[in-house]
Structure 1
Amino acid sequence: MNSSVDIKESREKVNSGLPFRALPLPDKQANVIKSDDEAIEIAEQLARKFSVDASTRDANGYLPIEELDDYSSSGLWGITVPKKYGGAGVSYATVAKVIRIIAEGDSSIAQITQNHIALTAHIFLDASESQKETLFDLVLKGYRFGNALSEKSSKNVAAFETKIKQDGNDYVIDGKKFYTTGALLAHIVPIVAVNGEGKLFIAFADRDSDGLTVLNDWSGIGQRTTASGTTLIEGVRVPAYRVIPVESFSRPTAAGAISQIVQAAIDAGIASAAIQDTIYFIRYNSRAWIDSGKEAASEDMLTINLLGDLVVKLHAAEALLERAGKAIDIAVSSPSEETVNEATIATSESKVLTTQVAIEATNKLFELAGARSALEEHNFDRHWRNARVHTLHDPIRWKFFHIGNYYLNGVHAPRHPWN
């Protein structure tokens, strides 16, 4: 191939509807990050790199295969591995900041990390000591966990129909999953399934396992290159040492809050990217409105006022993210009904505000930047599409209820992955 056009046209695209092959396993040891500061510095470097072609990937549906390799080999996928097992064990405030920064560069790439982080937490909370040593070692080597959690046709998100049964030294799993973010490009696909008694398990299946088929059929209007489509599970065998019973929601743990803070951080990153594009476009492309009496759009008093309002809301959302991360740190180190509920409520508060500012900022971009910003060549609608689709996770109408019910009536929020 002799031109960049040829190279772009040859890239794998999302939504072909076809089965997608398993990618090669990492051929070299990933970087092992040692501190919170190092994690943030690397995230900033990668986000700048990811942002360059983020719009092109969205517009053309290119899968971020090379970008994910850079991301997981950077060590950022291993920052929550506890120090006892060789990781940095960073603060969850740092985790939220890292994901927000990555999402600012490309929110689809940031979302692909979400389940990996949540599953790494489940290893810490639910796995045996030998399982922790084995699975954390893979994480630090640069292996990516996808997910096969949600099901499209069940009566609610927690009504799992995928079945698991023990057969000698293996478990055998059958089912069908959707919204399997990360599975397409993962090295290992953790499958959530229930046994005959309704007990929940996570089985860490190799991506190339017989009977495991990941379809490239994600057709969402936003977060397009997350490839969050279908996973078929037909007699997939997983060795018992890779199967973990899920116990972390039957006792006070921060599992739900950990999953949720990553979602909130992604929305904050989308809002930040939209606001940055709004500022740049107003400065260099927009015209002042005729009634303002100004020569430049950046001098328009009403535009300045509304932009300032967005920035304040974004900074407030970021502050709540940091606060939630610190509450999770306390719940992880000292789990109790009280500390876990405090982490859950704080994270819910951050999710409310990041959702609101993401939707508002991605909408206001067009209002403030003007008609020129709506031209297809800018692809600014990707910010709104990404915000609209991603904020459908875990609706904030229920966050308001649980927050209010706690402060008014002292009722603790329920514990599950969506809260």
Structure 2
Amino acid sequence: MNIAVNPNLVAGHVPQGTPGPARPATPAHVIRDDAEAIRVAHDLAARFREGASERDRTGARPLAELDAFSQSGLWSINVPRSHGGPEISYRTLAQVVAIIAAADPSIAQIAQNHLGIVAAIRTVSEPEQQARLFSAVLSGLRFGNAFSEKGTKRAAEFETRFSDHGDHVVVRGRKFYATGALLAHLVPIVAVDDQGRPWYAIAERDAPGLTVIDDWSSFGQRGTASGTVIIDDVRVEKSHLVPAWRGYEAPRVDGAIFQIIQAAIDAGIGRAALDDTIAFVREKARPWIDSGQERASDDPYTIRAVGDLTIRQHAAEALLDRAGLAVDAAVVNPTPESVAAAQLAVAESKVLTTEVALAASNTLFELSGTRSTLAEHNLDRHWRNARTHTLHDPVRWKVAIIGNHALNGVNPPFHAWS
């Protein structure tokens, strides 16, 4: 099934919270190795691609697709082997995300915070907590996201807090950009303690006091339902209170993992835009009158433009692959040097995947002509998705980080966005 956008959004009304999805009836599949992960991703992408344009057009929420995605085993690929997971490389994880994003970037983005939380649990949680939460992931449960807030001065500042009540905490606050929360089984809430340290308070999706409002109105990434979460004295057991702050008290690669997933989504958007450009030019576009050609695909200027985009897309994918190798090295041996190397490699990848996603989704129309703007093709979704998703964090700062390291030997800042 798909969940449609509440029609009251059009009238400007705030809809009531929507109940969470049913828990899986059977445990999720466990991927065996990197090759199977890639194979399963391609199989799912073929399925997701079929309805992606229509879901974007109608704003439908992809519940059936997410159920297939999480049950496939791809949502547990970074669970450690010591806890029964496949512990697939981050190089492969980035490829998996890019493959899914090329089919439907909203579905890929819904998974991004889940995969990042799994990585964080490995870094910061004690063994008993790891066993409990990794078991939930392997069973097929999905983490959502209640991280960001609109009202604070900076992205890393949070007004959401919790109070200690012995064996549990009580959380109060309000979140936005809550990608994945609507269709999650568990919702990690970033909340700070009385010392100002951030934790992930992982609440049940239908916990009393937790309301997920489907009010996401962005022109892009429409299917992510990245709307509002209201946390009104929500009880969270301490067994589900994850010390997120520990991931940044010493050299750790948690931030780079969150970032490489972002870059992979943009790489997928760029790939989809380029593929649709090639298909439209071959099948529907007309040659310009001065070209002397019978087919638009023989126009020399079009050939050059497609060649340029292809090179840039391949370069972006190569940098993404290189970043995955650097992240894998830092996971195995997290030192100041290895973590900085991973951050820098991911930053380079983020810059180029952003640029090519925007360039490909824009050049699509230049090469395909006016008819490519018709609503029946819905090709503008590629630009809308690229423009929306690449705003997650400013790549101008990534360029500055890379330049400052090259010139002055200054390592990247150490936080969740780097």
User: Same fold, TM exceeding 0.5?
Assistant: yes
Residue aligned with 1:293, SS = coil
Residue among 181, 197, 200 paired with 1:202: 200
Distance (Å, rounded) in 1 between the aligned partners of 2:313 and 2:225? 28
What's the counterpart of residue 369 of structure 1? 368
For residues 217-296 of structure 1, what are the structure 2 equivalents within 5 Å? 217-246=215-244, 247-296=246-295
Shift of 1:279: 0.5
Paired residue type of 1:405: N
Distance (Å, rounded) in 1 between the aligned partners of 2:155 and 2:207? 25
Distance (Å, rounded) in 2 between the aligned partners of 1:417 and 1:44? 29
Paired residue type of 2:4: E
Distance (Å, rounded) in 2 between the aligned partners of 1:12 and 1:77? 24
1:14/1:224 contact within 8 Å kept: no
Shift of 1:12: 2.4
Task: Confirm whether residue 342 of structure 1 aligns to residue 369 of structure 2.
Answer: no
What's the counterpart of residue 113 of structure 1? 111
What's the counterpart of residue 4 of structure 2? 12
Residue among 151, 162, 165 paired with 2:163: 165
Shift of 1:13: 2.3
For residues 147-158 of structure 1, what are the structure 2 equivalents within 5 Å? 147-158=145-156
Shift of 1:14: 5.8
Residue aligned with 1:318, SS = helix
> Taking structure 1 as the reference length, what is the TM-score of the superposition?
0.97
Distance (Å, rounded) in 1 between the aligned partners of 2:392 and 2:310? 24
Residue aligned with 1:201, SS = strand
Paired residue type of 2:328: D
Paired residue type of 2:123: L
Residue aligned with 1:377, SS = coil
Distance (Å, rounded) in 2 between the aligned partners of 1:405 and 1:141? 44
Q: Matched residues, percent identical?
A: 53
Shift of 1:418: 1.1
Distance (Å, rounded) in 2 between the aligned partners of 1:166 and 1:126? 20
| Number of equivalenced pairs | 411
What's the counterpart of residue 50 of structure 2? 52
Paired residue type of 1:394: D
Task: Confirm whether residue 125 of structure 1 aligns to residue 123 of structure 2.
Answer: yes
Residue aligned with 2:200, SS = strand
Distance (Å, rounded) in 2 between the aligned partners of 1:69 and 1:22? 13
Deviations, residues 123-168 of structure 1 (Å, cap 9, x unaligned): 0000110000000011111100001100011001001100011102
For residues 181-200 of structure 1, what are the structure 2 equivalents within 5 Å? 181-200=179-198
Deviations, residues 262-316 of structure 1 (Å, cap 9, x unaligned): 0000000001001111111111100001111100001000000000000000000
Distance (Å, rounded) in 2 between the aligned partners of 1:277 and 1:202? 40
Deviations, residues 182-239 of structure 1 (Å, cap 9, x unaligned): 0000000001101121121111111011100000000011000100000000100001
Distance (Å, rounded) in 2 between the aligned partners of 1:321 and 1:56? 29
Residue among 103, 113, 135 paired with 2:101: 103
Distance (Å, rounded) in 1 between the aligned partners of 2:318 and 2:161? 42
1:14/1:227 contact within 8 Å kept: no
2:4/2:58 contact within 8 Å kept: no
Deviations, residues 368-412 of structure 1 (Å, cap 9, x unaligned): 111111111000000000000000011100001111111110111
Task: Confirm whether residue 398 of structure 1 aligns to residue 397 of structure 2.
Answer: yes
For residues 308-347 of structure 1, what are the structure 2 equivalents within 5 Å? 308-347=307-346
Distance (Å, rounded) in 2 between the aligned partners of 1:162 and 1:143? 24
Residue aligned with 1:53, SS = helix
Paired residue type of 2:93: V
Paired residue type of 1:279: I
Deviations, residues 50-84 of structure 1 (Å, cap 9, x unaligned): 00010000001111011000000000000000111
Paired residue type of 2:390: T
Deviations, residues 338-389 of structure 1 (Å, cap 9, x unaligned): 0000000000000000000000000000001111111110000000000000
1:14/1:62 contact within 8 Å kept: no
1:30/1:72 contact within 8 Å kept: yes
Deviations, residues 70-108 of structure 1 (Å, cap 9, x unaligned): 000000000000111111111111010000000000000
Shift of 1:244: 1.3
What's the counterpart of residue 66 of structure 2? 68
Paired residue type of 1:184: L
Distance (Å, rounded) in 2 between the aligned partners of 1:353 and 1:345? 13
For residues 374-389 of structure 1, what are the structure 2 equivalents within 5 Å? 374-389=373-388
What's the counterpart of residue 33 of structure 1? 31
1:145/1:188 contact within 8 Å kept: yes
Paired residue type of 1:376: A
Residue aligned with 2:247, SS = coil
Distance (Å, rounded) in 2 between the aligned partners of 1:56 and 1:244? 38
